[in-house]
Amino acid sequence: MQIVSATLHRVQLPLVHAFQTSSHRKNHLEHLIVELTDASGAVGWGEIASPSDPYYCPDTAGTSWIIAQQNLLPALLGKEFETPADVNATWAKVRGHQFAKAGVDMAAWTLHSTLTDQPLTQLLGGTRSEVIAGVSLGIEPTLDDLVTQVGRHVDNGYPRVKLKIMPGWDVEAVRVVRAEFGDLDLHVDANGAYTESDDHLTALRGLDPYGLTMIEQPFAPNNWLASRRLAGELDTPICLDESVEDLDDLATMIDLKAGSILNIKVSRMGGLTPALVAHEVAQQYEVPVWCGGMHEFGIGRAANVAISSLAGFSLPSDVSSWDKYYARDIVLDGVMADRGRVQVPTTPGVGFTVDTDFLAENTVESLTLTA
């Protein structure tokens, strides 16, 4: 493939239901869509799913725009590449900025998929025709509101529910949900909100009797030793998310036993290319993995479904139906879960048709670079 032009689209869509984590509340999403055009006229699409603010990670839509414009995309223009991995190698010297890298890497994969007329899942080595979807629920104003939200998604057939937690919204929330929904596959995600203070540790220990599938990212990303200590104390497995941005971090997690489950989030790890390697390493060390999400639009969501079809993704992934988040998506007939099961797209490229008219209507800024 020879990339002759690259366009960034800054797209905003409102959420149908506000989403709150331990750090912030959001009512809309602003992501960057990457459009790569080959000399043949074929197009590859990717999604930079950076948050708007630097609460989940240092990357934001603003910083990702700058890095993609100044450092990632210019290095591709006019050059020929055999594989997406070759594209990914062009920014080996760029430190950090995983979300920007992920969107460009994703666009290279979907372009390669189109040019070779092979479904993305096939190129990635996926072995499943459908994947199991879980749903992620934010912190609600009241416990009654939380029960209502969980019930709605359980009624829709989702077999796993993830609850966002924070100090003061943890044990009681889990107790109420467990009492209402029995043996539901349930796990919690703290997004690094806890410390090793006495009250925080008491709360985390208080979650242990409730049969959770995992406690995800209880401590700050670099607090490896706290994760290791908690993992050694609880029966509930510790899953790491924000802590593992690259393969060196994964090696640290495994060596320290700071976590026993890995959330392979394509955006956080810099794209499909490094996510594939992380999957291979995890399999080697018998670490269960699942695919987390960033409330992606249809392009990023389709890529998440494709990688979730790989053999090592043994736990439900955050690939719930697009209409949980948006009244309308930027792809036509996008990812939909039927009783918690999502069919893996078999059409080359993104796997769905990008609605370019709707994309344009919701683009607040765009930029095109040419060779």
Place of tokens 């992920």: 102
Whether 59 and 30 have beta carbons less than 8 Å apart is answered as: no
Residue 232: both structure tokens together:
């050694």
Whether 331 and 353 have beta carbons less than 8 Å apart is answered as: yes
- The DSSP output letter for 237 is P
Whether 331 and 291 have beta carbons less than 8 Å apart is answered as: no
Residue 14: both structure tokens together:
């409102």
How many Å apart are CA 177 and CA 170, to the nearest integer? 11
Which positions are catalytic?
164, 265
The angle, 0 to 180 degrees and rounded to 10, between the axes of the packed helices 224-233 and 198-206 is 50
Q: Please, which residues bridge with residue 13 across strands?
A: 29
Q: Is 51 helix (H, G, I), strand (E, B) or coil?
A: coil
List phi, psi (to 5°) of 129: -90, -15
Of residues 261, 169, 158, 177, the one with CA closest to residue 215: 261
